Amino acid sequence: MKLLRFGPPGRESVGAVDRDGRLRDLSSAVPDLHLPTLGLAGLKRLRRLDPSDFPVVRGRPRLGVPFTGISKFVAIGLNYADHAAEAGLAVPAEPIVFLKATTCISGPQDPVRLPAGSTRGDWEVELGVVIGRTARAVDEHDALAHVAGYTVVNDVSEREWQLERGGTWDKGKGFDTFGPIGPWLVTADEVPDPQALSLWLDLNGEPRQRGSTATMVFGVARLVSYVSRVMTLLPGDVIATGTPPGVGMGMKPPRYLRTGDVMTLGIEGLGSQRQRVI
């Protein structure tokens, strides 16, 4: 099932995409997609609904983050060997884990605002793994049973703050609007193999990133298991699983985000995003 939230910020309604790609209003059946409340059992009940039984949403409303209740926004660095190479860094022996601030989260079509003085804003299309059941030190073979579904993430970064201002990566990853999520939460039953999805990102209509989750250094099951040993994962938490090559930092010469740029990005079966840089 492809679930989403639509409408003005703070007043979103629940929707779903039907078999013909039309947006349906599910708000009469579910008040909000709050994953800590719904959990896997609640999502299972929602999957029994037929979106065609609900009214079509007219026009092109704003899409919000497709679910609520995100307590942690975890991200994985250098999880594609070819991206590590373009960054001039070694392929990690264990997952590199950092956090994006939950205040950076925004809708999939909302503008991305560069912070004052930013000169090295960058893009990163990533598969987002959405947790549906509390995961604490889970085994890898059981890890995917804790996943509610998948979504698209743009792990927007400010490379100067990430790499040159001392300390952790978190500083360059957590600026407001640096975490677009959506357009949909695609439930796990519709993604039988999360390691077989193509990813892409264009800048101003020009191809930049092309990749596949098949080339991840650490797969989704390994990441959920690993992170759950570092911190307890709760329903609604998101893990952004790393980006394929083609980021601005890796270009020769580097090409960083400027006001007026438009990023479009997506993942096979999970929908697409579009953000204007302001």
Distance CA 255, CA 199 (A): 20
Neighbouring C-beta atoms of residue 36, cutoff 10 Å: 18
Half-sphere exposure of 170 (CA within 13 A, CB side): 12
Distance CA 18, CA 51 (A): 5
- The alpha carbons of the chain give a radius of gyration, in whole angstroms, of 18
Across 246-266, b (16+ Cβ under 10 Å) vs e yields bbbbbeeeebbbeeebebbbb
Is the pTM above the cut of 0.95?
A: yes
pLDDT of residue 83: 87
In this predicted structure, the answer to whether residue 82 has a pLDDT above a threshold of 90 is no
Half-sphere exposure of 236 (CA within 13 A, CB side): 17
Mean pLDDT of 165-178: 94
Peptide bond into 92 cis (omega under 30): no
CATH number of 73-276: 3.90.850.10
Question: pLDDT (tens digit, 9 = 90+) per residue, 6-34?
Answer: 999 999 999 999 999 999 999 999 999 99
pLDDT of residue 85: 85
Question: pLDDT (tens digit, 9 = 90+) per residue, 102-123?
Answer: 999 999 999 999 999 999 999 9
Question: What residue segments make up the domains of the chain, in order of their start?
Answer: 2-53, 73-276
